[in-house]
Amino acid sequence: MRFYFDKRVLIGFTITMLVLLMLGIFSYHSTQRLMDASNLETHASRVMNTAERVVKAMIDMESGQRGFLITGTEDFLEPYYDASSH
């Protein structure tokens, strides 16, 4: 009877440890996927910010060029030169 009880305790303990091990592995993989997604989001955000700055610089260049072509005043080229330096 004692051997039967010890065997059941050992089996229960082993099953519990296996479940905990599987949960640990699952948690680790989930954390890795979350970190990968976070890094991807950070990269996408940086790309979007850079693209927005490029578009703004292009608009400034076009506006300055348009102002110069319409008026012939070189003061309108200042936004063009500022934007082209970025």
SS3 72: coil
Look up the pTM and report it. Answer: 0.64
CB distance 68 to 81 below 8 Å:
no
> 19-52 pLDDT, tens per residue?
999 999 999 999 999 999 999 999 999 999 999 9
| pLDDT for res 62 | 92
Residue 3: the pLDDT is 66
Contacts of 60 (CB under 8 A, 6+ apart): 79, 80, 82, 83
- Mean pLDDT value of segment 5-13: 88
**Mean per-residue pLDDT over the chain, rounded:** 92
> Per-residue pLDDT averaged across 49-66, rounded?
93
Structure tokens at 46: 């940086």
